[in-house]
Structures are given as structure tokens and as C-alpha cells.
């Protein structure tokens, strides 16, 4: 059943629609088309799904960590309702000019995941993102990477992976 090991997902532009500004509440968190269905299917063929997301809005004090947790809890609850499972969410709260090691294109969040889950098999794992910085972070850790956009979405990739037309 679990043909693949770990799936790293970026959040904005992959799971939910990217906005001009930041997602500051769950009302402005809009799932991408068929993302819930895709995550449900992916939960069955990957051992674990981890989210790795830059959330500079925390550093900018536009959003508190508590409010971000609220948004993520509501997101997880919708995903679970559709029988999807996200094992853990990693986010970088820092500003660009803080030069941290976790903000993508740096790979600190992926390294932290490998520390938390030492059983991760990188050769059988993927990272899906909509930005060059996602792809750069994934490639630097030797993950297979896939860039998505509004036309070729997470759902499109999932269909090609599972060969199920629906």
C-alpha cells in the first residue's frame, strides 16, 4: 500500500490558493481544486506527509503563532474529514533578513524532519512546491521535486501518480 516514503508539501499555492497578501484567518484559506481528494489518495500511498511552509507573516507580526495554529488546526480538520493524514507541519516564522537556516530555499525544515523521523528514505520521497525556492530546497536534500501551478496542480500530479482518472 505505501509505495512511497515521505511527501513534503509546501502549503500556499499547493494545498491552498495563494493570495496577494497573507492567509490571516481560515476564511481566506481556500483549498486548491481537488486538493482534499489528492491528499486523501496521497495519504494511502505515502508513509507520511509533512508540510514545510515559509510563514514570514509571523516575523512581520501580521499573524501570531497561536493564530497560525488555529488556521492549521482547521485545515487539518478538513483534511481529516476527507480521510487525509498530515503527520507534521513545519513552518519558518523568520523574516528574510534574519538569514535563518529554515526559510526555503534553505533546507533547515527538511533537515529537522529527517532528525525527527530518522527512518525517512530520501530516495523514495518527494517535495511538491509552486516556487523555485521549494524546488531548490528539495533538490539540495536529494528529494525528487515537482513544481505545480494553477494548471498542473497537486491533484494533477496525484492523478498521474495513481493513474486514476477521476
CB 15 within 8 A of CB 154: yes
Is 12 annotated in the active site?
yes
Q: Decide if residue 13 touches Mg ion (CB under 5 A).
A: yes
* 23 CB-side CA count, 13 A: 24
The binding track of 128-157 with respect to Mg ion, each residue x by CB under 5 A or -, is --x---------------------------
Q: How far is the CB of 94 from Mg ion (least distance, A)?
A: 16
Q: Decide if residue 10 touches Mg ion (CB under 5 A).
A: yes
Q: Which does 24 bind (CB under 5 to 8 A by kind): Mg ion, Zn ion, none?
A: none
Q: Which does 102 bind (CB under 5 to 8 A by kind): Zn ion, Mg ion, none?
A: Zn ion
Is 25 annotated in the active site?
no
Q: Report the SS3 class of residue 110.
A: helix
Cis peptide before 39 (omega within 30 of 0): no
Q: What is the full DSSP assignment across 118-148?
A: TT--GGG-EEEESSHHHHHHHHHTT-EEEE-
Catalytic residues: 10, 12
Q: Which stretches of the chain bind Zn ion, using CB under 5 A?
A: 92, 94, 100, 102-103
Amino acid at each position: 500500500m505505501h509505495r512511497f516514503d515521505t511527501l513534503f508539501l509546501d502549503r500556499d499555492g499547493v494545498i491552498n490558493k495563494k493570495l496577494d497578501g497573507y492567509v490571516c484567518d481560515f476564511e481566506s484559506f481556500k483549498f486548491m481544486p481537488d486538493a482534499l481528494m489528492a491528499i486523501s489518495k496521497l495519504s494511502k500511498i505515502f508513509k507520511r506527509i509533512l508540510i514545510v511552509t515559509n510563514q514570514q507573516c509571523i516575523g512581520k507580526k501580521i499573524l501570531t503563532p497561536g493564530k497560525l495554529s488555529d488556521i492549521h488546526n482547521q485545515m487539518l480538520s478538513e483534511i481529516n474529514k476527507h480521510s487525509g493524514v498530515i503527520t507534521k507541519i513545519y513552518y519558518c516564522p523568520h523574516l528574510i533578513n534574519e538569514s535563518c537556516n529554515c526559510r526555503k530555499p534553505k533546507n533547515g525544515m527538511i533537515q529537522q524532519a529527517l532528525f525527527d523521523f530518522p527512518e525517512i528514505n530520501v530516495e523514495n520521497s518527494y517535495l511538491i512546491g509552486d516556487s523555485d525556492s521549494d524546488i531548490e530546497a528539495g533538490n539540495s536534500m536529494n528529494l525528487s521535486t515537482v513544481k505545480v501551478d494553477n494548471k498542473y496542480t497537486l491533484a494533477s500530479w496525484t492523478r498521474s501518480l495513481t493513474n486514476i482518472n477521476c
